[in-house]
């Protein structure tokens, strides 16, 4: 339950996230939990994870202990990064790879993340499929509101890339019960 956004426009990429942490029906607003950021930085990239809060703890641990293993510079390198991390996720972090789908083609890494860096914006799905996005994208329970807002605002020349990403999160927070302000956001120039 979250709202995460990425936008690419005018030679700049931006990533933004809400700040609400939940556990079941319980909410932990900002000020009740230390270090609850949904965006982390590694090797010039920003990564935001949707889904279980434990995913971010695992990503933070991996970034701290193995930053050299995070090559997030292209679709292929991101795929290889997450493919190589999968065994570590299962062996060292006890990741449960089963899903409810009986026709599951591969073991799931259970992660859905957005990445923003100087080469673009990307989504990584549960089976390690990597999609490079061209304009904007969103994940989480507030994603539909965020996507609509960002698409409506994308051509507005008065808004920066970061402002469009932030507006997406703001709309997710306005209409989705699983998302809440304040938000955090970052931007990077494309190379």
Question: 88: which 2 tokens?
Answer: 């570590």
pLDDT in tens, 9-57: 999 999 999 999 877 778 777 777 766 689 999 999 999 999 888 888 8
pLDDT in tens, 50-107: 988 888 889 999 999 999 999 999 999 999 999 999 999 999 999 888 777 677 788 8
Domains in the chain: boundaries: 4-189
pLDDT in tens, 121-140: 999 999 999 999 999 999 99
Instruction: Give per-residue burial for 3-38: e unless 16+ CB within 10 Å, then b.
Output: bbbbbbbeebbbbbbbbbbbeeeeeeeeeeeeebeb
Question: Which is the CATH superfamily of the domain at 4-189?
Answer: Aminohydrolase, N-terminal nucleophile (Ntn) domain (3.60.20.10)
């Amino acid at each position: 339950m979250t709202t995460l956004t990425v936008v690419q426009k005018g030679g700049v990429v931006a990533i933004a996230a809400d700040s609400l942490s939940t556990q079941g029906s319980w909410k932990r607003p900002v000020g009740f939990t230390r270090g609850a950021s949904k965006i982390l930085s590694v090797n010039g990239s920003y990564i935001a994870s949707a889904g279980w809060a434990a995913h971010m703890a695992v990503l933070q641990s991996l970034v701290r202990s193995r930053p050299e293993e995070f090559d997030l510079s292209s679709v292929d390198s991101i795929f290889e990064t997450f493919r190589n991390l999968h065994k570590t996720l299962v062996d060292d972090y006890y990741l449960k790879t089963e899903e409810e789908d009986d026709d599951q083609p591969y073991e799931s890494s259970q992660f859905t993340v957005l990445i923003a860096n100087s080469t673009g914006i990307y989504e990584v799905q549960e089976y390690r499929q990597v999609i490079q996005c061209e304009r904007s994208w969103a994940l989480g329970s507030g994603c539909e509101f965020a996507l609509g807002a960002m698409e409506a605002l994308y051509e507005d020349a008065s808004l920066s890339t970061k402002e469009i990403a932030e507006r997406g999160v703001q709309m997710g927070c306005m209409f989705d019960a699983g998302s809440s302000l304040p938000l955090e956001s970052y931007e990077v120039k494309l190379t």
